[in-house]
Amino acid sequence: MAGVVVVGAQWGDEGKGKIVDWLCHRADVVVRFQGGHNAGHTLVVGNTTYKLALLPSGVVQGKLSIIGNGVVVDPWALADEIARVEAQGVKISPEKLVLSDSACLILPFHRDLDAAREAQAGASSIGTTRRGIGPAYEDKVGRRALRVADLADAESVAWKIERLTAHHNALRSGLGLPEIDVEALKAELAAIAPKVLPYAQPAWRVLDTAFQESKRVLFEGAQGSLLDVDHGTYPFVTSSNVAAGQAAAGSGVGPRKISYVLALVKAYTTRVGAGPFPTELHDAVGQRLGEVGHEFGTNTGRPRRCGWFDAVLVRQSIMLSGADGVALTKLDVLDGFDEVKICTGYKLGDKVLDYLPAGVKDQQAVEPIYETLDGWKKTTKGVRSSKDLPAKAIKYIRRIEELIGCPAALVSTSPEREDVILMRDPFKA
């Protein structure tokens, strides 16, 4: 029995799609346990690129794939994504895709509210994807959400919509939005229900059976630990818990089922949207990282902010998730630099910190303390064995391991599926 959790240890976009896809060769089941369709995972298989949002990365390989109860699900987005992936030749059936019947739904008015609040906030906006994820989680916690199972019960839909409209119409009035058209909403839900209900069942039971049968289960996180609603750069965060502990609660298994936590990190740092970013570069180096690394959001298309590797933040994420190893991605993007830098601490006034403080002003005010290493001229692109890496690239990896207190299990050297150096197998740890 093995339960491996993959989480991002930066601000997302660390390459989870590829690494999860690569690990799928060793897994029997793949589970999404938090977030919504704001998460974009890109898989490159041969000449085909798959862009996934809600679907677990295992669907491309025909693995049993589960969308857990911790995910908020836009049923229209899910149906569209299934159709899009099937058009690329991937067969998706209820035997291979399980949708938790207790997952909460993202509804059209959630998107309206998300967009209206961001627009009204102006310069104070936090940079959401405006896809309704935050408002859907608010309704979940407020105990007024519609869940997947409700789509099969018109009476439940009717009285829950009453609760929802009582809350949302007041908000919409204040934002200058029209009241919710209840009958139109019911009609939309009735139309989408047959497209998603065939996949719905108690996901926790499916997972329990998988573990009883000694299946290898891969838990796929979305976003990154620095966007965790509790432990990230609040309020510039996502609306769910991203740390590895959420894998248990968000999928319906006990924490003892988790045997290994793999934290994903880029060989440098990126961030999409607003919020603190201590090592951000506004110069030619930052521009080069963005261009060579093709740093644009999978779902949003927004350019990512780029900077040097921040060992302080990654070490903090490693502690929060109890990571056993890291997967270092996009090492090849650093090829050709004369020197590379790693942030080893922060200056805040006359203090030196080894962590990111919780206060917004302090997070904005910290200044990175850098350590400079020699770059390497030989390419690492496509390398699949550590013995073929340049000595200075190996030195860079080893220094990162020392600073974050966690060994490298995998190193990715290109977007291609097989361009991975395996140092430690998470399923055999």
- Give the bridge partners for 30, in sequence order: 65, 218
**Residue 41 is a catalytic residue:** yes
Which pair of tokens denotes residue 83?
Answer: 């159709």
Q: Which of 138, 97, 99, 102 is nearest to 117 (CA)?
A: 138
What residue spans of 175-245 are helical by DSSP H? Answer: 182-196, 203-212
Residue 82 DSSP label: H
Q: Give yes or no for a contact between 73 and 67, defined as CB atoms under 8 angstroms apart.
A: yes
Instruction: Report helix angle 133-141 to 108-121, nearest 10.
Output: 110
**E strand segments, 183-285:** 200-201, 216-220, 260-266, 269-271
Q: Give yes or no for a contact between 372 and 308, defined as CB atoms under 8 angstroms apart.
A: no
Q: Give yes or no for a contact between 296 and 304, defined as CB atoms under 8 angstroms apart.
A: yes
Q: Which of 13, 21, 74, 112 is catalytic?
A: 13
Cβ within 8 Å of residue 186, ≥6 positions away? 154, 157, 158, 161
**Residue 13 is a catalytic residue:** yes
Distance (Å) of CA 275 to CA 229, 280, 287, 313, 423: 13, 11, 19, 14, 34
Q: DSSP 3-state assignment of 175? A: coil
Containing 173, the helix (H) or strand (E) segment is: helix 154-174
Instruction: Report helix angle 182-196 to 75-87, nearest 10.
Output: 40
Q: Which of 37, 41, 168, 231 is catalytic?
A: 41
Containing 141, the helix (H) or strand (E) segment is: helix 133-141
> Rounded to whole angstroms, how far apart are CA atoms 353 and 351?
6
Q: DSSP 3-state assignment of 299? A: coil
Cβ within 8 Å of residue 352, ≥6 positions away? 345, 346, 369
Just list the catalytic residues.
Answer: 13, 41
